[in-house]
Amino acid sequence: MRKPFLAANWKMNKTVAETRAFIDEFIPLVKAANDADIVLAPPFISLHTASGMLKGTNIKLAAQNAFYEDKGAYTGETAPGMITDAGCEYVILGHSERRQYFGETDEILNKKVHAALRHNLKVIFCIGESLEERESGKTFEVLKRELDNGLKDIPCDKLVVAYEPIWAIGTGKTATPEQAQETHKYIREQLASLYSEKAQEIRILYGGSVTPENIDALMACPDVDGGLVGGASMKADSFSKIVNFKRV
């Protein structure tokens, strides 16, 4: 059985002080949830503070991005080794906002995944289709391309895949449990073509307007192993309810 995985992606939100206040409130709310991996991904400026506060807890730390070089003249970028040094165990790569606003291609993301793994970071690798692609019947085509190209020559032992339908991110729209399961099942089949039987061990997260109200139904799907949560992770009470979803 795959261990549930619930990750909070705060994106460009929360100051250091707000991060500190969230963690103070959040830790006691989830201290009994030892049957799940719980991950927080605050902005880069808060990683050091969060790392210190999370030591000795059941909560792990992630960065929201990483560059593919170890050092150099790359103004504004952060190397994987710096992220490891800040106390991160995970890094999110391939988020649709990085693809859309910063031009990150499958090839660039493949280089980033390789670089992260060189520094022993575990990767939350995001894939997903736009509304136009879904409505034109290209969902599976897009997901196959992003998996094949983004994960080329990538081992799977430190890999988590997050399916985030772009049309459901921050819109309040959510894939139905049936839609989520259909797509997650397809993703697992594609992972099997890359990793054979090891695909059954890879956790696949749903990311698209996950809330305390829909998490139980999503987690009841056999191929949904957790959530990559945006808006609903911004408040400790809300995200703790997601972490403490009803186990079936």
Cβ atoms 121, 158 nearer than 8 A: yes
Cβ atoms 49, 81 nearer than 8 A: no
Strand partners, 229: 8
Rounded Cα–Cα distance for residues 204 and 124 (Å): 9
Residue 70 CA neighbour count, 13 Å, CB half:
5
Rounded Cα–Cα distance for residues 89 and 188 (Å): 24
Quickly tell me which residue has 């988590």 as its tokens: 160
95 tagged catalytic: yes
201 tagged catalytic: no
Rounded Cα–Cα distance for residues 145 and 2 (Å): 25
Any idea what DSSP says for residue 199?
G
Catalytic residue among 89, 95, 104, 133: 95
Q: 76: exposed, middle or buried (C-beta count within 10 Å: 0-12, 13-18, 19+)?
A: exposed
Catalytic residue among 133, 146, 164, 184: 164
- Catalytic residue numbers, as ranges: 95, 164
